[in-house]
Amino acid sequence: MRRFLWNSVVGAMLITLVCATGCNRTTPPPEPLEVSELPAVVEKAFAKAAPETKALASQVVTSVQAQDYAKGFAAVQALASRPGLSKEQVNVTSRVMLTVSSLLQAAQAKGDAAATRTLENYRRDK
């Protein structure tokens, strides 16, 4: 019985130690990109990507430049789900997602029906 209690205490301490060291609170959340810097940052991050991934990144940039935020939102979601992205590409994709999401919400506030449908679908399927 004593051995069981000792093993339980040691196990609980190990789990606590692993959980405490596994949480890195020094890394801040990603910041959204400015719309003006989005094309250059995306192009740089995906310059050496696979052709399909590079095409999705270009589609995101093209959609944002054309102010088709619903299409850009779908493209950035597809880009984020691509396997094999580097750490830099994941970071840029996250920042682009924040930017496009805020642009989509602003378009919805202005009465854009496509933006409203896109956000409703996202919230429903989330």
Q: Confirm whether 121 is domain-assigned.
A: yes
pLDDT of residue 42: 95
Region of 49 please: left (phi>0), alpha (psi -120 to 50) or beta. beta
Q: Confirm whether 106 is domain-assigned.
A: yes
pLDDT band at 126 (very low <50, low <70, confident <90, very high): confident
State the sign of the Cα–Cα–Cα–Cα dihedral 118, 123, 103, 46: negative
Q: Confirm whether 46 is domain-assigned.
A: yes
Does 6 score more than 60 pLDDT?
no
Q: What's the whole-number mean pLDDT along residues 72-82?
A: 93
Q: How is residue 17 written in tokens?
A: 């130690």
Q: What's the whole-number mean pLDDT along residues 75-88?
A: 93
Gap between the Cα atoms of 43 and 118, Å rounded: 25
pLDDT band at 62 (very low <50, low <70, confident <90, very high): very high
Q: Confirm whether 118 is domain-assigned.
A: yes
Q: Confirm whether 117 is domain-assigned.
A: yes
pTM check: above 0.85: no
Does 11 score more than 60 pLDDT?
no
Q: What's the whole-number mean pLDDT along residues 90-97?
A: 94
Q: Note the helical H segments in 27-112.
A: 38-45, 51-65, 69-80, 87-109
Q: Confirm whether 65 is domain-assigned.
A: yes
Q: Confirm whether 8 is domain-assigned.
A: no
Q: Confirm whether 21 is domain-assigned.
A: no
User: Over the stretch 63-72, which tens digit does the pLDDT of each residue have?
Assistant: 999 999 999 9
Please check whether residue 54 is in contact with residue 45, taking contact to mean a CB–CB distance below 8 angstroms: no
Whose tokens are 């682009």? That residue is: 96
The residue ranking higher by pLDDT, 24 or 30, is 30
CA angle (29 as vertex; 23, 34 as ends), nearest 5: 165
Give the chain's domain count: 1
Domain that holds residue 50: 32-125
